[in-house]
Structure 1
């Protein structure tokens, strides 16, 4: 039996139309709290999002290499319910947030071209390392060389590697991100069964979330 994939729409900003958050496929939305990002949202301004998403949809705050005390402060101020760690955060960092009562997702960076052996071994070790201290893992494409932020570039990675990683992810919540949109999400979901997909630039027009693109994505997810 195939389980319906969940959808997270990431990179929301104040002023975005939030009606889509009532859709049953959309289980999470993400707000970026990484200052160099073009999608950065001030924590106080994020309240206009967290207080208006549909009650069935969980809000995720995205952080990268921030002190855990700062993460907890932003969580309280913004009202997000999940902390997604997109940097080089340690097991101890995840544990701090979990002990504070937060759900924690850890992002694992996957090269656009995966080298058999070295890259797969690293990713397998990281899956095992973070499995017990997180509520979910998110496999995202590595950023370009010299990038100022760790994600949001609309790059895909070699999805064929997921066939080899899936056995290590059994029983876990795991998500795929990076360059996903209405035109390719079905190909991903036909090749593997992640818990969900995380989409940002793939549902944007002129740098803002677009309702029509989101509808197209959800139709494609539905097959």
Structure 2
């Protein structure tokens, strides 16, 4: 079970991550997010990050030029696309980088997942859909996992949205994802909480599975 902890925005967050050792951390480069960081900030944080932890950059409808610029600046291991990026966009991005590309699917129905499987990306991340304008994830709401196709998903996939220590074990047992992506579930009053981060690593088995 892979664990990605998203929304790193303070030096303390990096120190906590180095202590609990998730598989990956995420930096959010979407200015409308309350967890937004600049490329320069992420670069400084990343210099202190344990080399065994992947650095993932989250982008929402950003220009390809800007994505590449930040991906190289930090430098990132993975580019995560969280907006309305389509097949053409992803193909153009792939021509300019050899980094892994993940695509977030804000799931309204089963067909959303089936369509996303056709995209030329390495991994998918299933998140809760919301009708709110400019709301790309970070809702804290659990998605309807019954929408996952009965035959399963052909690409490795993460689950996100409303995950926390009280529901994560049951959800993992039901869905069997490749990994989980958690942010608000490891926060207290809007900031990363070391105790909650430790709990998640214990429940998921961390890197030992």
| TM-score for both structures, normalised by structure 1 | 0.85
Tell me the equivalent position of 2:142: 156
1:44 counterpart residue number:
40
TM-superposed deviation, 1:23: 6.5
How far, CA to CA, are the matches of 2:72 and 2:124 in structure 1?
23
**Residues 147, 101 of structure 1: alpha-carbon distance in 2 compared, 3 angstrom cutoff:** same
Q: Matched residues in 2 for 1:161 and 1:135: separation?
A: 21
- Segments of structure 1 that go 5 or more residues without pairing to the other structure are 112-118
Written as runs of structure 1 = structure 2, the 5 A alignment for 1:45-194 is: 45-99=41-95, 100-111=97-108, 119-127=109-117, 129-130=118-119, 133-143=120-130, 145-162=131-148, 164=149, 167-170=151-154, 172-194=155-177
Q: Where do 4+ consecutive residues of structure 1 move more than 2 Å?
A: 14-25, 96-99, 145-149
How far apart are the structure 2 equivalents of 1:61 and 1:199?
A: 14
User: How many residues were matched structurally?
Assistant: 205
3-state SS in 1 of match to 2:159:
strand
Q: Find the partner of 1:10 among 6, 11, 19.
A: 6
Q: CA deviation at 1:75?
A: 1.3
- Aligned CA distance change for structure 1 residues 25 and 43 (closer, same or farther; 3 Å): closer
After superposition, the C-alpha distances for 1:175-211 in whole angstroms (9 at most, x for unaligned) are 0000111111101111121110000000001111110
Q: TM-score, normalised by structure 2?
A: 0.90
Q: Which is bigger in relative contact order (C-alpha 8 A, separation at least 6)?
A: 2
2-structure distance, mates of 1:19, 1:46: 14
SS of the equivalent of 1:176 reads strand
Measured against aligned partners, the alpha-carbon deviations of 1:62-81 in whole angstroms (never above 9, x if no partner) come to 00111111111121222222
Change (3 A) 1:96 1:168: farther
Give the secondary structure class of the aligned counterpart of 1:16. Answer: helix
